[in-house]
Amino acid sequence: MGEAMAGVALALLSPNHPLQTPKIPNRSSLSMASPRPSPPSSPSDPTQPSLLVFSGGTAFNGVVEELKKLTTRVAHVLPVSDDGGSTAEIVRVLGGPAVGDIRSRCLRLSDESTSEALAVRTLLGHRLPIDVVEAKSEWYSIVEGGHSLWQGVSRPYRETIRAFLVFFQNQILRHSEESFCFSNGSIGNFFFAGARIFFESLDAAIFLFSRVSGIPVESCSPGNLHQ
């Protein structure tokens, strides 16, 4: 699919919002942003306890922050049944499994050891305004690359993340019979959905998200994050 998808032409967001588009991603573009070095506490240390966690999404997120202080050797098994917020809107318009709970857990597991890691986490954790008009306007600003959320994100990571956001927008435009509502939308959900649709694989989307956000590999094996 990669070569065919690489040739997809991106439509403009709207006549009043010309989009300066990065290249449509192909599988080789994952090498654009090399994975960040793991934070000092994250290398797989055989003396660390190894845990298997079965949980829902939001309810366990507070515990995740504490577990990170104890060990990074935690396998997370999550459902893909989240049907609220922007997840429900993505499923309604574009279909596919619900990614909200997985995205939320990935954010909790993400690296916070550098200023860039924090900038990426802030970007992918950002939610658009509740007001429909304001939400759509801010979304355009983010996709076009001019929003202040991009500050602190280096060019390789910026272009990788932005390419999949652009691809997500392109998919919405291709489903023009459905009016997509960006109100309170999660940028991380949009990035996740764009990657999943492009690769036609939830596992591949989890892998890409983990690469971009610097999640320790022992915490984010794709099979560990969904069932």
At position 93, the amino acid (one-letter code) is V
Task: Indicate the SS3 state at residue 123.
Answer: helix
Q: Would you state the torsion angle of the CA atoms of residues 12, 18, 19, 24, taken in this order, to the nearest 10 degrees?
A: 40
Q: What percent of the chain has pLDDT over 70?
A: 74
Answer yes or no: are the C-beta atoms of 226 and 78 closer than 8 Å.
Answer: yes
180 Cα distance to chain centroid: 18
- What is the per-residue pLDDT for 219? 67
Q: Any idea what DSSP says for residue 185?
A: -
Answer yes or no: are the C-beta atoms of 89 and 181 closer than 8 Å.
Answer: yes
Q: Between 216 and 120, whose confidence is greater?
A: 120
Answer yes or no: are the C-beta atoms of 58 and 101 closer than 8 Å.
Answer: yes
| pLDDT over threshold 80, residue 45 | no
pLDDT for 91-100, tens place per residue? Answer: 999 998 888 8
| pLDDT over threshold 80, residue 103 | yes
Q: Between 66 and 46, whose confidence is greater?
A: 66
Among 13-17, 40-44, 123-127, the least confident range: 13-17
pLDDT (mean) for 180-203: 95
pLDDT (mean) for 3-31: 38
pTM greater than the 0.85 cutoff: no
| pLDDT over threshold 70, residue 209 | yes
**81 Cβ contact partners less than 8 Å away, ≥ 6 residues apart:** 98, 101
Q: Which of 205, 197, 193 is nearest to 90 (CA)?
A: 193
pLDDT (mean) for 80-108: 85
| pLDDT over threshold 90, residue 225 | no
DSSP alpha helix (H) spans, 30-95: 61-70, 85-94
Q: Mean pLDDT of all residues in the chain?
A: 78
- What is the per-residue pLDDT for 162? 97
- What is the per-residue pLDDT for 82? 67
Long-range contacts from 148-152, C-beta under 8 angstroms, 24+ separation: 149/119, 149/122, 149/123, 149/187, 150/123, 151/119, 152/115, 152/116, 152/118, 152/119
